[in-house]
A and B are shown apart, each in its own frame.
Chain A
Amino acid sequence: MTFAVELLGISKHFGAVAALDNVSLSVEKGTIHALVGENGAGKTTLMRVLYGALQPDSGEVKLDDQPHTFKNSKDAIQHGIGMVSQHYGIIPALTCLQNLILGAEGGPIVKVSEAKKRADELAKRMGFEFDWDSDAETLSPAGAQKLEILKLLWRNAKVMILDEPTAMLSPSDSEALFASLRKLVDEGATVILVTHRLPEVMDHCKTVTVLRGGKLISSHPVSEVTDRSLAELIVGGSLVEPPVIEPVRDLGIALDISKIVVKDDRRHDVLKGLDLQVKRGEVVGIAGVDGSGQRELFQALLGVRKIDSGSVSIDDQEVTNWSSAKRLQFGLRLIAEDRHEEGVIEDWSLEDNAILGLQRLEPIQKSLFISTPDRHKWAEVVAEKFSTKHGGLNQPMRTLSGGNQQRFVAARALEMSPKLILAFQPARGLDLNGTADVYAAIREKCKAGASALVVSFDLDELLIHCDRIVAMNRGELRQPKPEEARDRQAIGRLMVGAQ
Chain B
Amino acid sequence: MNGKITALIAGALAILATGLLISGVSPMEATKTLFQGSLGSLGAFSGTLKETAPLLILGLGVYIALKAGLFNIGVEGQFLVGATLAATVGLRVQGPVGILLSILVACLGGMLWALPAGLIKAYRNGHEVITTIMMNYVAGRFTDFLVQGPLKAAGSQEASTADLATDTRIPALINSGAFELGWSICVGVIGVIMLWFWMRKTVAGYELQAVGANPTASKFAGISAKKIQVWAMSLSGGIAGIAGAFQVLAYEGRFYQGFSPGYGFDALGVALLAGNSAIGLIPASLLFGILAKGGVSLQANGVPKGITSVVLGAMILVAASIRFRSVKSGD
Contact = CB atoms under 8 A, between A and B. Distances in A.
Q: Touch between A and B in complex, CB under 8 Å? A: yes
Interface of A: 302-304, 323-329, 334, 336, 341-348, 352, 355-357, 359-360, 365, 368-370, 372, 396, 398-399
Chain B interface, >50% SS class: helix
B221 interface: yes
B220 A347 contact: no
Nearest to A353: B217
B177 interface: no
Contact of A359 (B206, B219, B220): B206
A372 to B, nearest CB: 7
A342 B216 contact: yes
B223 interface: yes
A396 B330 contact: yes
A396 B276 CA distance: 13
A323 B210 contact: no
In the A-B complex, the 9 residue pairs with the closest CB atoms: A325-B222, A357-B221, A324-B222, A328-B222, A345-B214, A345-B213, A342-B220, A356-B221, A341-B216
Given A348-B213, A356-B210, A325 B202 contact: no
B202 A345 contact: no
A341 B217 contact: yes
A360 B331 contact: no
Contact of B202 (A303, A352, A369, A399): A369
Given A325-B224, A368-B202, A372-B201, A359 B207 contact: yes
Contacts of B300: none
Interface residues of B, number: 20
B178 interface: no
A14 to B, nearest CB: 15
A342 B210 CA distance: 12
B327 interface: yes
Contacts of A352: 206
B210 A345 contact: yes
Contact of B219 (A324, A344, A345, A368): A324
A328 B218 CA distance: 13
B330 A304 contact: no
Nearest to B214: A345
A359 B216 contact: no
Contact of B217 (A345, A365, A398): A345
Interface in B190-219: 201-204, 206-207, 210, 213-214, 216-217, 219
Nearest to A371: B201
A348 B213 CA distance: 8
Contact of A370 (B206, B214, B219, B330): B206
A29 B5 CA distance: 54
Nearest to B205: A370
A498 B268 CA distance: 61
19 contacts: A302-B220, A303-B222, A323-B222, A324-B219, A326-B222, A328-B221, A336-B220, A342-B219, A345-B213, A345-B214, A348-B213, A356-B221, A357-B220, A360-B222, A368-B204, A369-B201, A370-B201, A372-B201, A398-B331
A336 B331 CA distance: 21
A229 B191 CA distance: 71
B228 to A, nearest CB: 12
Contacts of B330: 396, 398-399
B220 A370 contact: no
Given A368-B203, A398-B330, 6 more contacts: A342-B217, A347-B327, A352-B206, A356-B221, A359-B221, A370-B203
A367 to B, nearest CB: 9
B214 A359 contact: no
Contacts of A304: 219-220
A32 B207 CA distance: 53
A245 to B, nearest CB: 30
A344 B221 CA distance: 9
Contacts of A368: 202-204
A464 B330 CA distance: 37
Contacts of A370: 201-203, 206
A343 B214 CA distance: 10
A298 B214 CA distance: 20
B217 A344 contact: yes
A114 B207 CA distance: 57
Given A360-B203, A369-B203, A341 B214 contact: yes
A334 B203 contact: no
B220 A343 contact: yes
Nearest to B213: A345
